[in-house]
Chains A and B, each alone.
Chain A
């Protein structure tokens, strides 16, 4: 039984001069923060929250980019006993109007008391506020309390209970921002204990990460775990990584990184796009595990990655997998470090039509399934059918789980929390099967699209298309389409319009691309505008996403597009 603040207090008194976090920037020297510096910086935010009259247990939304302010304000909120939630910062890709609407969506459900942001961004934040909403204070980063000695005894965070909510985590888009996963101190520690054990973490480890902190993989594996475990963390901005992915390799080499996490697309991305001249002299031999997580894991992606980087000291057995979700804090399964993830060759036809994973018959087409590993020691996983009945090994059904690190609930959404469980088991919405305790994730029951490791709700994209002149409400469909070469899903949007004129349809297609991208920051790969009665509806009038996807694929094949 412990809390974040107790843990930090213990580390602070034991090893104050140990480097906790190395922040990396583009065009600026690395900034190394010891635990002492980290907590002194954080304590200023804790006192600022006190000054504003914020009580422990109130929600604090952080709208900040990669850097000291984000790190200090996150831990400062913890030290003060209030609950941080990191909101993605406005990017140049997203329209300010949409960002304002997203922020309003977050405020309406999560009801934060405080928003912390930059002085330059204060105007944007205030514009999203409304008379009578929950926000009592907007704190800007250059008006915080001066530094002082850290006096843990005076911090309210020390008086929190281990069962109290410690943080909230949202996924992106309107739907995601209205569904905050609330986690307790105890749940996070239970996760860190079992996950840390499965990775055999020692104080020799160094975590290197480029992942955003508003996503579970970045927040838990790439931030909380190292800081609370006393393991050095080297972290760069996701925006810098996307422009220059080789920086991750340079950082691993420079800091002798041992652990890093990547979504599947990043394996293909790095293998295809990093040029030799950017990784000259780079040494990846320190890596114990590079863990594939947060979107379906592909054996082919591992092979491509290994082939590209094996001459740089990368060990094949460093390529590992995990199945994780914010509702379980993070990890559900982890492959066995030191050996390769289990790969299962199964019969393609039986997989598709009989929903069973079995060895291919002679001459039948097969497919490679890569395991996400075995359940962590504190997690139970089963696969169930539509009626909730447990299925035997090899049969494909919905993955359900139980653990001592589950979410407390969706914050202020008891309706969603109740729907998420069935007889005490959390329903993941993912399809998969178990074979000899190995968990294989094979698809999704829910319509969510996962693109580049990011969860996207298709309904959010569809609603955006209705705002484009010429598209009627209810007459578009969005879905994901797996792209073998990218190792992730491409986003497809199909919209039905009255016009059959090709030029007019092209004009609307461009307008959809522009509008949806600006309002979701999601790049659309295929935008197809079609004439009346193309889109298939269910008998109840709802859009059938999978049926429309099949129809789209068929047309694509016929036109020679695949």
Chain B
């Protein structure tokens, strides 16, 4: 845990019927921190993201942001989903507006922020395109632009690049970091991909298998931009592999 206080505090047990998905999961996140939640598929990572976003009520315990239970109406939240989430009937520009529109940001300010984000994710010239006209990587860039367009207290990313090819994924990871460094936002990035977590995170929270508890919380202090061949990178990958079990 680095300096910056405890902006987001999670302390939940989550059940779906008799199934315990999260078992006394407890962690906190500092302001402007980039945290990766790492776990095997089906361990409850998405549930963590949904709880943080207020899409799911906690069955026991709380998730608070600045001391207040997480609430999409009171907090500025944003979510980058794994599945295609752009509204197909809206153009690139109008998709990026959604969060600002809902929060009733005045038009000049809204236009300014949309233009800034289009510039930042390199989509200039594609503002008037519909989602079906652009590639998968571009669609996720629009989703990222939409998330960063609001001054979010917390941005959730749930395996946002899982459906992209290797090359595009690396490009997008670098891009997310660049935007995060520019906008200084708190990000929780959920993934099952070790390299992705090491490349992105300031801190990695490793979950156990279901019911998920915290297995480890590791600070990543490698210099940026991170190099996959760096000895520290390789050592950390090995360590995480051991933590996650034999299948890795």
Asked if chains A and B come from one complex, the reply is: no
A-binding residues in B (CB < 8 A)? none
